[in-house]
Structure 1
C-alpha cells in the first residue's frame, strides 16, 4: 500500500457513513470510502502537491483544486459530491475541522473591517465584473437575492416577483412616503415598490455596473421622477426616510460595523417608520467566512448569526418588530441559478474562460448545499422606533 493511500485511509476511513466515494490517487491507486461502493462518486487527484494542500487546509484548498483541475470529478454532478461531503465530513459549523478555521475566526475582525474605500473595492470585485454575466442566470428583473417559493414548482420568475410582493406588504407602504433602498442592486425592488404605491424611492449602491443599469431601467419605465439611484456609500447620506429596506446588503457590512449600521438606521428612520433587513443568516452561531468564498467571490463579506445582529439592534434603541426565517428558499433559488448558468456555460466561457465557469459552478453548487443542509438560511428582520410601527398581527402581510 502506498504512502498516500495509508494517509487517506487513516484520515478519512470513518468519515463517509452514507453513500460512497472513490478517490484515484496521483500514483493510480484507488481508495474507497463509505458503504456504497457500487454507486460511489469517483474523483481523481492529479498531483501529490494538491493532495497535501487539501489535507492541510480543506476549507480553502478543496475549492482551489476543483477550479484549477488539481481535483477532477469523473462521475456524478458537482452538487452530488458536495452533498456527500456536507452529509458526512463537514461538522455542525460547516467547516472541515482544519486548524486554520480557528485562526480565521480570530482574524475575522481585520478581514471584515470595511471602511468606505475598501467596501467599494469589495463590491466591485463581485458586482462589477459585467452585467452580461448576471443576465445569463438571473430572472428578467435581475434579482440577485433569495426568492420566495410557495412550493418547489414555482418558477424563478414568479418566485422573485413573490419575494418583492412579500417585502412590499411587510413595509406597509403609504402614499407620499420616502423610501430608501440600501444596496439597491440593479434597481428591480425600488422600481417594484414605486409601482406598488405612490412613493418616492432612493436606491444606493457601490457598484458602477448596477448603478448605470438601474438608471436606464428607471428612465425606460418612466419612473425616473419618483425613483432615484445614487452611486454612494449609505454612510454619506442625509435625511429621514419613512421606510428603509435592505436586501442582500447586510452580508457586506462586516461584523465591526454592525453597530454603526443600525445606529445609522435609527438616526435616519422616521419616528413612525419601519426598516426591513433581509440577510442571509448563519445557524450554528458566530464563525468566519469560508476562505475560498472570501478569496474568490465575496471579499470582506460575512454571513451573520442572529446572536451577532440582535445586540446591535438593542444598543441602537430600535424596537424589534418581526423576524421571519425563510428556510430552503435560497436553496431553491441557487438551484435555479445554477441550472440556468450551466445551460449557458458556453456563453460564460466566451465572456471569461473555462476556469471562471468552474469557479462559479463551485460557488453556486456549494452555496446551494449549505442552504440545503441548514447551515445557512435567510432572515427578514423588521425594526422601528415604536411598537405600533406595523400592525399588531401578521395577517396584514397576506391580505
Structure 2
C-alpha cells in the first residue's frame, strides 16, 4: 500500500526536506532538500493504509497512538513541511490540500445544535480537565484565547495582558459602574480586569465547574467580589440587560445552528445604548468541513465560522456592526508559546495523564498553530451596537484609550520599582 502513499506524497511535497521510513524499513525522501530535515517512521502497514484513506482523522490518531513516530524534527515540523506545500505557497498542484483544508478548523459536527445539556457536556470535556494541566502552558492569568503581540519579542504574559487592554478599549468604558456581561468567562481574567481597571460591574457566565470555582476564588482574593460575580449558567438563561457585553473565544463553541440564537439573545441582553465586543476564531475562506480529529478528541460541538456566515446572523438579530478587526498571525504566535511550554513540561503532563494524552495534546497545539500560520484561520473582533450614536464618531477613542492605559501601567510600574 505504501506505493500509493508514496505517489501521493511525491506529487504533493515539492519544497522542504521530508523523509518517511515505511513499514518495510525503506526510507523515502520528498521535497527539494531545503529547510529543516523532518523524518517520520510508520510502524506498520495498517498505519500506511489509514493515512492514505482518512488522513484528516488518522494523522493525529496515529501520532497520538504511537504508530507514526518522529525520528527527526517534531510533529509541528512535519505539519509545516506538508502545509507549506499548499497551493499558493509554492508553484505546484498539491493533492495534500484535501488534508490541509480539513485541518483548518478547531472542529465540530456541522449542523448539530448545542442545547444546554450538550453545551455543558462539551465544555466539561475540555475545560474541566485538571487545572494543573493548564498551568503547564498558559500565562499566569490563564488566558486561553488569542493573545495580542505588538512585537515579535513580546512575551506571552505581556501579549495576553495586551489582549485584554485592546478589547477593553473597544468597549468604550466611558463611565464607572457599567453593567458588563462576560459570555464564556473562562477563569475570570477578562472580567476581573474590567472590574479593577474601569470599575465595571461584571457578571461572568461559564458552564465549567473548574473555571467557576477558580474565577470566584480570584474575585475574592483580589477584593473584587463586590464588583465581579461568576455564575454556572448558560447565557441563554439570563434575563436582564447589560451596558456592555464581551465574549472572547466562546462563539466557536456555539455551533453552526446556534448563530442566529446567539446574536438574537445578545441583542436582547444589550441595552439600547450598549456596546458588545465578540472575539472569535474565523475562516478567511468560504465555509468548509471541520477537522474530525479535533472534533473527536479536543473540542466537540464547536464550529469555526466564515465571515459570510456571521454577518447575516448579525443583521437578522437587530445588532449593527460598528467595527471589525482581523488578527492574522497573533494566534499562531500564541499557540507557539503554548506548544513550547507544554513540551517543556512534558514529564509533568505525563504524571497528570499519560504519554498518549500528551501526544494528543501536542498534536492539537501543533496542528492548530499550523492552521493559523499556513492556512486561512484568523481571529475576528466584531464590535456591535444597537444604535448608531452608541459610540463616538471616529475610532480615535480606541487608540486614545489604549495609549492612556499603557501610560498608566508604565507609571504604576515605575512607582512600584521606586
What pairs with 1:1-399 in structure 2 (closer than 5 Å)? 4-36=1-33, 40-88=37-85, 96-97=97-98, 108-110=109-111, 112-173=112-173, 174-399=175-400
Distance in 2 of aligned mates of 1:201 and 1:32: 57
Q: Label 1:67 to 1:23 Cα distance change in 2 as closer, same or farther (>3 A).
A: same
Q: Which has the higher contact order (CA 8 A, sep 6+)?
A: 2
Structure 1 residue 235: Cα displacement: 0.6
SS of equivalent residue, structure 2 residue 196: helix
Relative distance call for 1:11 and 1:374 in structure 2 (3 A) is: closer
Q: Distance in 1 between matches of 2:133 and 2:294?
A: 18
Contact 1:44 1:72 in 2 (8 A): yes
Deviation at 1:33, TM superposition (A): 1.6
Superposed displacement of residue 108, structure 1? 4.0
CA-CA distance at 1:186 after TM superposition: 0.1
Q: TM-score, normalised by structure 1?
A: 0.94
Instruction: Report deviation, 1:322.
Output: 0.4
Conserved 8 A contact 1:325-1:379: yes
Q: Distance in 2 between matches of 1:27 and 1:328?
A: 40
Moved more, 87-96 or 239-248: 87-96
| DSSP-derived class of the 2:289 partner | coil
CA apart distance, 1:374: 4.2
The question of whether the paired residues in 2 share the 8 Å contact of 1:5 and 1:29 is answered with no
Contact 2:8 2:95 in 1 (8 A): no
Deviation at 1:150, TM superposition (A): 0.4
The one-character-per-residue Cα deviations of 1:213-265 (angstroms, maximum 9, x if unpaired) are 00100010111011010001111011000000000000000010100000001
Instruction: State the 1:39 CA deviation.
Output: 5.8
SS at structure 2 position matched to 1:74: strand
Distance between the aligned counterparts of 1:30 and 1:277, measured in 2?
49
- The 3-state SS of whatever aligns with 1:88 is coil
Give 2:409's aligned residue.
none
Helix, strand or coil at the partner of 1:129: coil
Note closer, same or farther for the CA distance 1:83–1:109 as it changes in structure 2 (3 Å cut): closer
Distance 1:250 1:172, change over 3 A: same
Q: Which moved more, 1:61-70 or 1:373-382?
A: 373-382
Q: Shift in Å at residue 37 of structure 1?
A: 7.8
CA distances 1:299-330 after superposition (whole Å, capped 9, x unpaired): 01111111110000001111110000011011
Deviations 1:109-166 (A, max 9, x none): 44x3111100000000000011111111111111001111001100111111111111
Q: Secondary structure at the match of 2:98?
A: coil
Alignment check: 8 A CA contact 2:109 2:300 kept? no
1: CA distance, partners of 2:184 / 2:5 = 45
Give 1:288 deviation, angstroms. 2.2
1:58–1:96: 8 Å Cα contact kept in structure 2? no
Whether the 8 Å CA contact 1:168–1:196 is kept in 2: the answer is no
8 Å Cα contact 2:22-2:42 kept in structure 1: yes
* TM-score under structure 2 length normalisation: 0.89
